[in-house]
């Protein structure tokens, strides 16, 4: 039987292309979760937190200690990271953001850059600056046509999908979600109508941080490593997805995160892994030049 037959190269190339798209969807779903955190903070509070990447890092360390030292299952680690991220978000909003309401974008920008640096250094001093190996989970794989899928990839996609679904139910089917959307439109009027603006801000920031912490655990188990500096690049890519999607659009953030993940992996396949991180920033430049309001944003929502 001939091993080389007409069209074999095309089939192999197609299989590799589909595999990279699958990997990109997995990676992009994590970016989407990070981007949703930025959307919640900006959409509700009209601020950007550049310490959001460090929330990912702290969530990853919570998950790391849960599975490495307490031998908890991954589901429990994700739950603990969510709760830990929630607490971190509540304290961050209360201690640092509460007094910045109504400020221009510059004070919170500078504050969160400084906070990001402090958190990285604190993590490095506490846990060490070197990379630490995250235990591997769900390495079993199966084939779907030409694509090889791991159980870990399915877990990541399912986790993100469930969180997005629950978030949509919260925003559109509960009084809390109605209050969050009302405050995002006009917090002064919402306050006059009797809504607890401070409480809603705090809950919004806590929810964004909780989602970021879960994303941190997913990144850690996907790449099997944790470090004090691991949140920087994913945090920036999540922010790029937030801008690309439209700043205040959750569907836009999801779609943009998936696009970035897929394009990055296709870049690895057709060019080089050295260009992987460059692609996200190239997308950001194109979006800002061509459509600064993002895919699903409005013209008055340009940052």
User: Rounded to two decimals, what is the model's pTM?
Assistant: 0.90
241 belongs to a structural domain: no
173 belongs to a structural domain: yes
**Looking at residue 167, what is its pLDDT?**
94
288 belongs to a structural domain: no
277 belongs to a structural domain: no
293 belongs to a structural domain: no
**Looking at residue 88, what is its pLDDT?**
95
Q: Of 2, 61, 83, 26, which is closest to residue 229 (Cα–Cα)?
A: 61
218 belongs to a structural domain: yes
287 belongs to a structural domain: no
Q: Of 42, 33, 49, 303, which is closest to residue 180 (Cα–Cα)?
A: 42
300 belongs to a structural domain: no
Domain count of the fold of the chain: 1
Structural domain boundaries, residue 216: 27-231
Buried b (16+ CB within 10 A) or exposed e, 216-244: bbbbbbbeeebbbebbbebbbbbbbbbbb
What's the average pLDDT block by block, 10 residues per block, for the chain (303 residues)? 56 79 94 95 87 94 94 94 96 87 77 92 91 83 80 94 95 88 78 81 94 96 93 92 88 93 86 76 82 72 47
């Amino acid at each position: 039987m001939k091993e080389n037959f007409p069209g074999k190269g095309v089939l192999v190339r197609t299989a590799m292309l589909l595999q990279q798209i699958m990997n990109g969807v997995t990676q992009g779903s994590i970016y989407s979760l990070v981007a949703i955190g930025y959307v919640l903070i900006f959409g509700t509070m009209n601020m950007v937190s550049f310490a959001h990447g460090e929330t990912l890092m702290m969530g990853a360390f919570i998950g790391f200690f849960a599975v490495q030292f307490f031998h908890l299952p991954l589901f429990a680690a994700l739950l603990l990271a969510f709760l830990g991220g929630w607490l971190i978000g509540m304290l961050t909003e209360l201690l640092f953001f509460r007094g910045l309401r109504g400020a221009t974008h510059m004070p919170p920008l500078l504050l969160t850059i400084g906070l990001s640096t402090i958190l990285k250094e604190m993590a490095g001093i506490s846990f060490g600056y070197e990379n630490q190996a995250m235990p591997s989970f769900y390495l079993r794989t199966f084939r779907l046509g030409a694509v090889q899928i791991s159980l870990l990839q399915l877990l990541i996609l399912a986790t993100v999908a469930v969180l997005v679904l629950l978030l949509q139910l919260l925003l559109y089917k509960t009084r809390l979600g109605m209050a969050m959307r009302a405050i995002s439109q006009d917090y002064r009027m919402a306050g006059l109508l009797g809504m607890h603006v401070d409480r809603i801000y705090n809950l919004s920031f806590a929810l964004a941080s909780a989602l970021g912490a879960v994303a941190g655990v997913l990144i850690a188990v996907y790449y099997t490593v944790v470090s004090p500096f691991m949140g920087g690049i994913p945090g920036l890519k999540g922010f790029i997805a937030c801008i690309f999607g439209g700043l205040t659009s959750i569907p836009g953030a999801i779609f943009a995160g998936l696009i970035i993940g897929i394009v990055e992996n296709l870049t690895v396949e057709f060019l080089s892994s050295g260009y992987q991180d460059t692609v996200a920033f190239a997308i950001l430049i194109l979006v800002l030049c061509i459509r600064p309001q993002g895919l699903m944003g409005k013209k008055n929502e340009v940052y």
